[in-house]
Structure 1
Amino acid sequence: MSPGPGADSAPAPKPHDDDHTSGTAPGDGPAGRGTFSSLGIRNYRLFFTGAIVSNTGTWMARITQDWLVLTLTGSAAAVGITTALQFLPMLLFGLYGGVIADRCPKRLLLLFSQGALGLCGLTLAVLTLSGEVRVWHVYLVAFLLGMVTVVDNPTRQSFVSEMVGPEQLRNAVSLNSANFQSARLVGPAVAGVLITAVGSGWAFLLNGLSFLAPIIGLLLMRPAELHRTEPVPRGKGQLKEGLKYVAGRPELIWPIVLVGFVGTFAFNFPIWLTAFADKVFHAGAGTYGLLNTLIAAGSLAGALLAARRGSSRLRMLLGAAALLGVLEIAAALAPSFWLFAALLVAIGMVGLTVNVTANSSVQMATDPAMRGRVMSLYMMVFVGGTPLGAPVVGWLTDHYGVRVGMATGGAVAVIAAVVIGLILLRAGGMRLKLDLRRGHRHVRMVPRERLTAVV
């Protein structure tokens, strides 16, 4: 997102091909091991501060939007449709957003996209405060938000590396997630109070105004201190070039496939939590906000732990995805509110680990000149799968109950992690070895030629 060409455009090193399940992502090293080390960089500190404000507003609006749709329609499927419309543009046009991000100065592009997101929030605020809001208005604004996000998402993702450089990239990605989840702690609680006290319109208004903070932060940055990546000139076949680049690298394609399954089926919390609050626990917006806050608390803890880790391992991603599915199945079967609430904290922590590990490992394994296109594919699969999964999960929730809907999403995550793990083991020339002898590691990965008889 720098306004001009720069020097930091050398390709990132690629991971070794002999062990795709346990390798360390490129760019990891001794630098940046402190939890908050990347905040020592002024440009990133401005970005981080502005994001705290806008992320809080975004979470307020997200919770308020879901509750407003449920109030207007009484249908969990309608909440799913709203979510689907917001992410449908990412599925349809996400790759083109990555091409734009690679071609344009990212800082300038973010100024326009953040301003457009603020205008969408203010539009919904005016409609709601005037008493004229209808469900189709919410659908339309959700779709427009999605259109802006097509460009905003890959631009923000790839701009992080320009602010902090490769050595601090993983730390900054983790802190971005901590930032987002910190806002998730505050936003739902504030939204619940505002909905109860003065109505939904004020939450939407505050969200629209919150985008002034990142805009100011972007304007105050020092362009000379960015690790600039030279914008890619316009040319034919750039979209196809990005797809071919990813397809030839197992360290990119399989994490993207895995987060696609997780994002499509296992991250449908707006549908599940509204239904649990309303249908299972027979509570109101305050309880819905509390459930979201519990997930955020776990996610924040997971993000801070991720910021301290110095590497991104694919086996950690696979294990976290499988564990997320198991926890969701357990939560779906939880007999009491407090057990369900406790499991949400664990779900938040593990779900965030999936997100950060996949995001940072993909970014670090990508050439800077391709990063916008690769991250647009990543976000298209991770977020763009929601238009396919949300209506299905919403239909299951409406017809068979929220417990069946949530358990199904968890089961898909477990199956995807196991299948992709087996594929990666085979691609890396590795196999699992079981050793039941006392004092030995019972389960470990070994090269195929070293595999001995199973004990």
Structure 2
Amino acid sequence: MRWWSAANLVSNAGTWMQLTVQNLLVLQVTGSAAMTGLSVAVQAAPGLLLGVAGGAVVDSWPRKVTAAVSQAVLGVVAFATAALVAFGMLNTGVLMALAAVTGLIATVDGPACALLGNDLVEDRDVPSAIALGSVVHSVGRLAGAALAGGAVAWFGTAAAYVANGLSFLAVAAVIPFLKPVRRPQRAARSPEGRTPAAAGGSRPARKRARGGAREGLAFFLRRPRLVALAGITGVSAVFGRNYSLTLAVLVTGPLAAGAGDFGTVATVLAVGGTVGAVLAGRLSRPSVRLVAAMAATGALLQVAAGLSPSLTVLLLLVAPMAVVESVSDTAGTTVLQTDPPAHLRGRVLGVWRSASTGWGLAGPPLLGLLMEVAGPRGALVAGGLAVAGAIGAGALWHGRRTLSATVVPARRAAEAEPLPELAPVA
């Protein structure tokens, strides 16, 4: 797990180096902001359309092989992009093709690497492993963004892609030496009520995944806690969390601060996210209820942030906001990756990737429209209230449903119980 985490830290730093300069590169090549947005959409499209199919591939093939191959191919794509940039051969068509290929590979790479990390520890340590992955992601993001400026200044734009390619190869080189924990076979049930043995659980993985993508989607839709988790995360992603957009406009607009001040806000968000992931690592059994409580708390803090009278007050609110939202995200990821039976986890993650890509694409335009109508303060306040209100309404509905499921059967049983016979009167 230590080797895997170190390799992922290098990979995350390389990825964020590339992401830091990628939009700038597209803008330089095409000269169009619209084409820059289109390249982002093209890269996200495979996750939206083929996420479930990518998860089925992860369930069908050995996880180490799948992760190693996908990481190596992503490295090749990064090196190819660097070469095209260096020789001035990059054009709009090639850019879109590379974006589509990257997005397609990521539909397999994402769930494969996530589940491989969980395979390296005992079941009781999976929440801590997921939290460690969140810490690695946050630290890699900070390091990558910081290194990107120096690399581009000294060696040019292609250097960021070369560094990212090397980071992918580092992960691919480590994977063959990882030793997953041996877990006993368990009699978990499939959505149809069959045990893994009856459903092919004792056969090789590619035969066990014969149900294909539809089985993963059916399991997801029949699992109320996963549907609730998707609802909480989706509404939070659409009406909150897009702080690179909303807080940037708030800081440079109503608060009359500069780009450097927003950099300070972004740093506080990243540090708070890291602290939240560390705290989440101490959770032994995260639940959807915890995810909802933390998401609602973050939404209320977002409302307060929208009303901030000064940058200092905003910074004081942003720190706990990042902490509770990181705890919510990490707890939700733990539920998502541990709730399904092992032979369905890749497909469930594929369903999640499709859903999360959808709300990830819908969120920024909706928030942009809301800011046009209500301004940055109004967008933050309205978005936070929408998130908190939706979570509160869902909690009330769940509570009433649970109460009905408990009280009605008890009342029917009491009504069906025969009355005691009365003793004869003398």
Measured against the shorter chain, the TM-score band is: 0.7 to 0.9
Q: Are 2:134 and 1:177 equivalent residues in the alignment? A: yes
Match of 2:120 in 1: 163
* Residue 245 to residue 168, structure 1, CA distance change in 2 (3 Å): same
SS in 1 for 2:207: coil
Deviation at 1:175, TM superposition (A): 0.9
Q: Are 2:72 and 1:98 equivalent residues in the alignment? A: no
* Residue 262 to residue 173, structure 1, CA distance change in 2 (3 Å): same
CA contact (8 A) 2:60 2:209 kept: no
Q: Are 2:391 and 1:391 equivalent residues in the alignment? A: no
* Residue 413 to residue 116, structure 1, CA distance change in 2 (3 Å): farther
Deviation at 1:107, TM superposition (A): 0.6
Q: Are 2:289 and 1:315 equivalent residues in the alignment? A: yes
SS in 2 for 1:429: helix
Aligned runs of 1:19-38 on 2, under 5 Å? none
Match of 2:21 in 1: 64
* Residue 342 to residue 428, structure 1, CA distance change in 2 (3 Å): same
Q: Are 2:351 and 1:377 equivalent residues in the alignment? A: yes
The one-letter code of the counterpart of 2:119 is E
Match of 1:213 in 2: 170
Q: Distance in 2 between matches of 1:70 and 1:350?
A: 35
Match of 1:356 in 2: 330
Deviation at 1:270, TM superposition (A): 4.3
* Residue 283 to residue 170, structure 1, CA distance change in 2 (3 Å): same
The one-letter code of the counterpart of 1:174 is A
* Residue 194 to residue 418, structure 1, CA distance change in 2 (3 Å): farther
Structure 1 window deviating more from structure 2 (117-126 vs 269-278): it is: 269-278
Structure 1 window deviating more from structure 2 (329-338 vs 172-181): it is: 329-338
Deviation at 1:307, TM superposition (A): 0.7
Deviation at 1:56, TM superposition (A): 1.1
Match of 1:34 in 2: none
**Which of the two has greater helix per residue?**
2
* Residue 245 to residue 449, structure 1, CA distance change in 2 (3 Å): closer
Q: Distance in 2 between matches of 1:335 and 1:142?
A: 41
C-alpha RMSD over aligned residues:
3.6
Q: Distance in 2 between matches of 1:112 and 1:291?
A: 38
Q: Distance in 1 between matches of 2:376 and 2:160?
A: 27
Q: Distance in 1 between matches of 2:253 and 2:148?
A: 20
SS in 1 for 2:281: helix
Match of 1:303 in 2: 277
Structure 1 window deviating more from structure 2 (155-164 vs 192-201): it is: 192-201
Q: Which runs of 5 or more structure 2 residues have no equivalent in the other structure?
A: 186-203, 411-426
Match of 1:248 in 2: 222
CA contact (8 A) 1:188 1:289 kept: no
Structure 1 window deviating more from structure 2 (259-268 vs 225-234): it is: 225-234
The one-letter code of the counterpart of 2:237 is G
The one-letter code of the counterpart of 2:104 is M
Deviation at 1:287, TM superposition (A): 6.0
CA contact (8 A) 1:66 1:270 kept: no
Match of 1:292 in 2: 266
* Residue 374 to residue 287, structure 1, CA distance change in 2 (3 Å): same
Deviation at 1:99, TM superposition (A): 0.9
CA contact (8 A) 1:366 1:374 kept: yes
Q: Distance in 2 between matches of 1:98 and 1:262?
A: 24
The one-letter code of the counterpart of 2:215 is E
CA contact (8 A) 1:80 1:271 kept: no
* Residue 192 to residue 427, structure 1, CA distance change in 2 (3 Å): farther
* Residue 126 to residue 326, structure 1, CA distance change in 2 (3 Å): farther
Structure 1 window deviating more from structure 2 (250-259 vs 376-385): it is: 376-385
Q: Distance in 2 between matches of 1:217 and 1:252?
A: 32
Match of 2:66 in 1: 109
2:301 to 314, 322, 327: 327
Q: Are 2:381 and 1:424 equivalent residues in the alignment? A: no
* Residue 148 to residue 140, structure 1, CA distance change in 2 (3 Å): same
Q: Are 2:161 and 1:204 equivalent residues in the alignment? A: yes
Deviation at 1:195, TM superposition (A): 5.1
Aligned length: 390
The one-letter code of the counterpart of 1:99 is A
Q: Distance in 2 between matches of 1:306 and 1:201?
A: 37
SS in 2 for 1:356: helix
* Residue 134 to residue 405, structure 1, CA distance change in 2 (3 Å): farther
2:7 to 50, 58, 83: 50
Q: Distance in 2 between matches of 1:190 and 1:273?
A: 24
Aligned runs of 1:244-283 on 2, under 5 Å? 244-272=218-246, 283=258
CA contact (8 A) 1:265 1:393 kept: yes
* Residue 420 to residue 120, structure 1, CA distance change in 2 (3 Å): farther
Q: Distance in 2 between matches of 1:73 and 1:346?
A: 39
Q: Distance in 1 between matches of 2:208 and 2:174?
A: 29
Give the TM-score of the pair, scaled to structure 2: 0.78
SS in 2 for 1:233: helix
Query: 1:79-107 CA distances to partner (integer Å, 9 max, x unpaired)?
Result: 66554443332121111111111111111
CA contact (8 A) 1:324 1:413 kept: no
The one-letter code of the counterpart of 2:266 is N
Q: Which runs of 5 or more structure 1 residues have no equivalent in the other structure?
A: 1-43, 432-445, 451-455
Match of 1:233 in 2: 207
Q: Are 2:88 and 1:121 equivalent residues in the alignment? A: no
Deviation at 1:340, TM superposition (A): 3.5
Deviation at 1:348, TM superposition (A): 2.4
